[in-house]
Amino acid sequence: MPSETLLARITDYASRPNPYPLYAELREAGPVVQQADGSYLVGTYHEIASLLHDPRMSADPRSRGEVTHKPPFLRLDDPEHHRLRTLAMRPFGPPHNPGRVDAMRGEIDRITKELMESFEAGRQIDVVDDFAYPLPVTVICRLLGVPHEDEPLFRAWSDALVAAADVRPEQDTTETDKAGDQARIEMGGYLVNLAEQRRGKPSDDMLSAFVNEPDPALRLTQEELAETAVLLLIAGHETTVNLITNGVLTLLRQPEHLDQLRRDPDLLPRVVEELLRYEPPVHMRERIPLADMDIAGTPIAQGAPVVLVLASGNRDPRRFHDPERFDPTRPDNEHLGFGSGIHVCYGAPLARIEAQAALGALLPHLGTARLVQDPPPYRQNAMLRGPRHLPIQL
């Protein structure tokens, strides 16, 4: 049966430039498709949305008996997840800091302008290295309070951690897992050390806020601080770089939409929402059932890995009209680009502002730009999907 190898075919690097035909095949095969290794793929919108809201689906690898350290809140269940996510939200968003992200607009615009200073007509640039990567890194460094000059340091850790988090069926992952663990420990130690330097000497960043929290009941332990800070730093840039790059690629591939956007920049927020549906940075999330259960008529055993293919749900014709079409004027666009349920993307408001600022600033350059290589070379990762480089001629 071809479905037995679907996950392997999806994660095969050769599929990276265009996994969407495989997602269509997945949806054809049924809402829940068992793989040869015992895992399940779910690729239809309504089933994914329902599982993301199902309190019986665990995000914690320990639910499957995996012996590991206590994960960051992204991979914890309630009530522990709720406690840590709430504490992490205090210096970042509502209700305690409702204006924090919005107040960064000006700074994000300034960083964007700085990055574009060297962009001249006729020059070739790499959208990833010259723009889409440095922007979110600079932003998350400012927000967390991490010195930007340490970027090479955490870039290596980040690469190792993201590689370890990928979905890789039928592969020996011992080495990548070990490297990921090592990176996590080193990066956590580095961030805790940075935070400790601010104890009693708070500056206006999140690490300062974490260590200087006056209420003892609302303080993170050192281990929790390390996990949370690592998560925020990595998630704060690994995803946005793909969103921006995918955005540039999509617009250059669809000149009519680029023209439309150049004529009407007010469409930008909707372009970004449609990108999150059409070319989302996060393609898959894994969940683990805490009990034997039944999903759309398929019985699933407790502990079996269930891979929710968010990017496939985003193109489910039972949910979206003409889903393979990029349409920023789509009236009803409740995409799964940020997930849904209790783990819905923590950084979504920041990601939206960054992507809107980045694409808005690039717009004047894109009218005459052309893709040097299509498809561009992609990153290895199937779960966090995006081009490794995107050379364009200005």
Partner 1 sequence: MPGDLKDGRIVIVGASLAGLRAAEALREEGFTGSLTVVGDEPHPPYDRPPLSKQVLLGQATADTTGLPMRRDPDAEWRLGVRATGVDLLAKQVLLEGGESLPYDRLLIATGTRARPWPDQEEGALDGVFTLRTREDAGGLAERLAAGPERVLVIGGGFTGSEIASACRERGLEVTVAERGPAPLVGALGGTLSKLAAAMQRNHGVDLRTGVTVTALRGNGSFTGAELSDGSRVDADVCVVALGAIRNVEWLAESGLAAGPRGIACDAGCRAFNMYGIVTDDVFVAGDVSRFPHPLFGYQMLSLEHWGNAVEQAKVAAHNMVNPGPLQHPHLAVPSFWSTQFGLNIKSVGVPTYSDHVVIAQGSLEARRLAMVYGYQGRVTAAVTVDMAKSLDYYRHLIETAAPFPPPPGAQDRAIAADIAVPSDVPDPSGLSHGPIVALTGHLPDRRLSVVQPTR
- Site residues for partner 1, 80-119, by CB under 8 A, read 81-82
- Is the distance from CB of 341 to CB of 335 less than 8 angstroms? no
The answer, yes or no, to whether the previous bond of 387 is cis (omega within 30 of 0) is no
Asked if residue 304 binds partner 1 (CB under 8 A), the reply is no
Q: Phi/psi of residue 309, each to 5°?
A: -90, 85
Asked if residue 153 binds partner 1 (CB under 8 A), the reply is no
Residue 222 CA: distances (Å) to CA of 90, 234, 343 = 17, 18, 23
Q: Total binding residues for partner 1 by CB under 8 A?
A: 21
- Is the distance from CB of 192 to CB of 227 less than 8 angstroms? no
**Exactly one of 24, 36, 156, 290 binds partner 1 (CB under 8 A); which one?**
290
- Is the distance from CB of 324 to CB of 263 less than 8 angstroms? no
Asked if residue 24 binds partner 1 (CB under 8 A), the reply is no
Q: Which stretch binds partner 1 (CB under 8 A): 51-59, 118-126, 309-317, 356-364?
A: 51-59
In this structure, what token pair is assigned to residue 167? 């979905």
- Site residues for partner 1, 215-234, by CB under 8 A, read none
Asked if residue 270 binds partner 1 (CB under 8 A), the reply is no
Q: Which is nearer to partner 1, 179 or 290 (CB)?
A: 290
**Exactly one of 29, 156, 293, 372 binds partner 1 (CB under 8 A); which one?**
293
Asked if residue 155 binds partner 1 (CB under 8 A), the reply is no
* H or E element at residue 381: none
> What 3-state DSSP class applies to 32?
strand
Asked if residue 53 binds partner 1 (CB under 8 A), the reply is yes
What is the smallest separation between the CB atom of 216 and partner 1, expressed in angstroms?
A: 18
What is the smallest separation between the CB atom of 287 and partner 1, expressed in angstroms?
A: 11
60 vs 64: CA distance, rounded Å = 8
Q: Which stretch binds partner 1 (CB under 8 A): 18-26, 79-87, 217-225, 374-382?
A: 79-87
32 vs 24: CA distance, rounded Å = 13
Amino acid at 232: L
Strand partners, 308: 42, 285
What is the smallest separation between the CB atom of 161 and partner 1, expressed in angstroms?
A: 25
What is the smallest separation between the CB atom of 19 and partner 1, expressed in angstroms?
A: 27
Q: Which is nearer to partner 1, 65 or 200 (CB)?
A: 65
54 vs 52: CA distance, rounded Å = 6
Asked if residue 50 binds partner 1 (CB under 8 A), the reply is yes
Q: Which stretch binds partner 1 (CB under 8 A): 50-58, 124-132, 155-163, 180-188?
A: 50-58
> What 3-state DSSP class applies to 391?
strand
Eight-class DSSP state of 132: I
What is the smallest separation between the CB atom of 90 and partner 1, expressed in angstroms?
A: 15
57 vs 34: CA distance, rounded Å = 17
In this structure, what token pair is assigned to residue 87? 């504490």
Asked if residue 321 binds partner 1 (CB under 8 A), the reply is no
**Exactly one of 103, 218, 291, 296 binds partner 1 (CB under 8 A); which one?**
291
Which runs of consecutive H residues, i.e. helices, occur in 53-173? 80-89, 105-116, 127, 134-144, 151-164
Asked if residue 54 binds partner 1 (CB under 8 A), the reply is yes
**Exactly one of 49, 232, 272, 306 binds partner 1 (CB under 8 A); which one?**
49
Cβ count near 359 (within 10 Å): 24
Q: Which stretch binds partner 1 (CB under 8 A): 73-81, 108-116, 173-181, 246-254?
A: 73-81
Interaxial angle between packed helices 134-144 and 105-116, expressed in degrees from 0 to 180 and rounded to the nearest 10: 140
**Exactly one of 11, 15, 44, 58 binds partner 1 (CB under 8 A); which one?**
58
What is the smallest separation between the CB atom of 303 and partner 1, expressed in angstroms?
A: 11
Q: Phi/psi of residue 327, each to 5°?
A: -140, 95
What is the smallest separation between the CB atom of 21 and partner 1, expressed in angstroms?
A: 30
* CA-wise closest residue to 71 among 82, 53, 59: 59
Asked if residue 79 binds partner 1 (CB under 8 A), the reply is yes
Residues that bind partner 1 (CB under 8 A): 49-50, 53-56, 58, 77-79, 81-82, 289-293, 302, 341-342, 344
